[in-house]
Homo-oligomer: A and B are copies of this chain.
Amino acid sequence: MSKILGRPRSQAADDAIIAAATKIFYKQSYQDVSMEAIAIEAGVGKATLYRRWANKATLAVEVLMRQVIQEKTEYSSGNYRQHLISNLMGLRDMLSSEYADVIICVIAETQYNPELRTLFDQHFLKPVQAIGEQDLKRAIQQGEIKDIVDHNLLFDQLFGLFYYRILVVQNNICDKDIYAIVDAFLALVGINNSEK
């Protein structure tokens, strides 16, 4: 049986590291952030840092994840159209935030780091998609939209639009754009529009 031996890990260290990382990733570009700086800001040894997160990218995912969770909980009422708009505004805000370069740099890293890939999928992409899918499922059950087969493709088109516009082309997406996009989306899959 495995007993817990030695000094237990300090929760304070965890918190200090995340706080420091969140702060530093906010005000500096991903590349310019050094693990050393985070360790110093957190008042923590580098080993303590690496014992919890294997590398900079992994720590960055942690920070991003917490940012997503914050966003997620803020939008939670209204009908499907409202939900969708709220979710997409959340996504827009995240992609336009100071963490934009952290997101894209992490995505870059995932190209040749499978573990990070998995982590990023589960802690960042999935949670964002999940909101959309939960809402969608409820909307279908409530008869708000058609039970289309390939909503994956449509969702990817929707999300892709945001990633591409904001991160690649670097045109920001205003609220009016989002209304138009959502309405176009609902025009395709919504039930009410065929009733009109």
Using CB atoms and an 8 Å cutoff, list the residues of chain A in contact with chain B. Answer: 29-31, 100-101, 104-105, 107-112, 117, 125, 153, 156-165, 167-170, 177, 180-181, 184
CA of A160 to CA of B159, assembled, Å: 8
CA of A69 to CA of B111, assembled, Å: 24
Given contacts A101-B108, A104-B108, A153-B181, 10 further A-B contacts (CB under 8 A): A101-B111, A101-B112, A107-B108, A111-B167, A156-B161, A157-B158, A160-B160, A160-B162, A160-B165, A163-B164
Report B-chain residues with C-beta under 8 Å of the C-beta of A153. Answer: 161, 177, 180-181, 184
How close is A102's CB to chain B, nearest CB, in angstroms? 9
Q: Is the interface of A mostly helix, strand, loop or mixed?
A: helix
CA of A101 to CA of B168, assembled, Å: 14
Interface residue from B109, B163, B169 paired with A125 (Cβ < 8 Å):
B169
Report B-chain residues with C-beta under 8 Å of the C-beta of A31. Answer: 109, 112
Q: Is the CB of B163 within 8 A of A108?
A: no
How close is A183's CB to chain B, nearest CB, in angstroms? 12
Closest to A150 in B: B180
CA of A158 to CA of B165, assembled, Å: 11
